Amino acid sequence: MTRTKQTIGGHYQFLRSLGKGNFGQTYLAEDLHAKKRKVVVKQFCFVCNSQSTLNKAKELFEREAEVLYELSNDLQNNQVPHFIGFFEENQEFYLVEEFIEGRTLKEELAEKIRLPEDEVVDLLKDILAILKEINEKRIIHRDIKPDNIIIRANNGKPTLIDFGAVKEIARVVNTQFQAKQTIIYTPGYSPLEQLQGSAKFNSDIYALGITALEALTGLEPEKLKDDTGKVIWSNQIKVSDRLVEILQKMVDEDYRSRYQSAEDVLADLGELKKLQNTLMLAPKNYLLVQIIHKTVLQPTSIIPQWLKFPILLLIVIGIFGSTSFFGMRQLLMPLENNSSIPQPKQQKIIPKETSPKASNLPNKNNQNQENINPCPPILAPGESCQTTIKYKQH
């Protein structure tokens, strides 16, 4: 025979257990009235034989549930699970809220070991924005730790879960009606005043600071503290000095020296973010000014970019060639004007006697020609010989 799954509230059917604590258990369930939408059901139960005690617990439960309902509707960007409903059945109380698809920060750190500084700063800002809202509604979470921060699968945003309305009810009820006071905390993440049963609004700031240190170092809280419980971590990580100062103030053991509100931490983180952006953008802004100076203040060239290099090369070659040509010409001109090549000596010419009618005389072979003073067989150097021709008279 197949065992029927437990159904509470008439339409919430349990699928499996998600966890168990001192004051109840958490289940993953299906809402049969909403196309089997998955929801989280938190069951709160305590042993009580007094009807007056049960009535007081119910009153506290309803009041805290209404605050969570308003909180889930007021906060933006799904920073907390959407509150669906609450009811009492068989002297047990149930809280129903949205089931968030994603992984806890604890699971993320198990895979990545640690997160970079900028991601941790963003994480702090997101969670502090939630704390700011819940503190204004006089709510203290009391159990901030990596297990209670879910990174949504759809947008990567952190969501703070397990606000502990049921835990707060249990604390108040047990304090009022039982001899032994119940203290709500997680070892390593809770400050001294919370361990002593007197949680403050900035007790959540301490727990968030320890969570941030674990994300930065990959070390669990007990490895970040000395034997006295004081946090010593500055030698475990390398981050900006300003972030070190902020985290030191968040995890100060004395709540009076700690940040007094989430808003104060957000203000300092905002200044840190501006400083980081200034350092990152300064070189880019400088380059931008240079580009504007070149493109706006200088005249626009009509020569295409791909032609500029060949044209420049041709101009350089032309200038170099012209300079070389005229330079060589200047070097050769003195050689042409002051040449040392010897010129041939002019020969001494013996004048010849010609008659006025020489141009009209017959050929040298004419029989009427008579050679007079023939050239000697040997001439002196530099002399030439011309014969004088006389013509016979007829």
Catalytic residue numbers read: 143
d(C-alpha 365, C-alpha 375), whole Å: 18
d(C-alpha 53, C-alpha 244), whole Å: 47
d(C-alpha 246, C-alpha 11), whole Å: 48
- The candidate with the shortest Cα–Cα distance to 194, out of 252, 255, 242, 244, is 255
End-to-end CA, the chain: 177
Tell me the one-letter amino acid at 267.
A
Handedness of CA 238, 208, 274, 116 (dihedral sign): positive
SS3 83: strand
Three-state secondary structure readout of 42-63: EEECCCCCCHHHHHHHHHHHHH
Place of tokens 């921060």: 149
User: Are the beta carbons of 230 and 213 closer than 8 angstroms?
Assistant: no
d(C-alpha 298, C-alpha 301), whole Å: 9
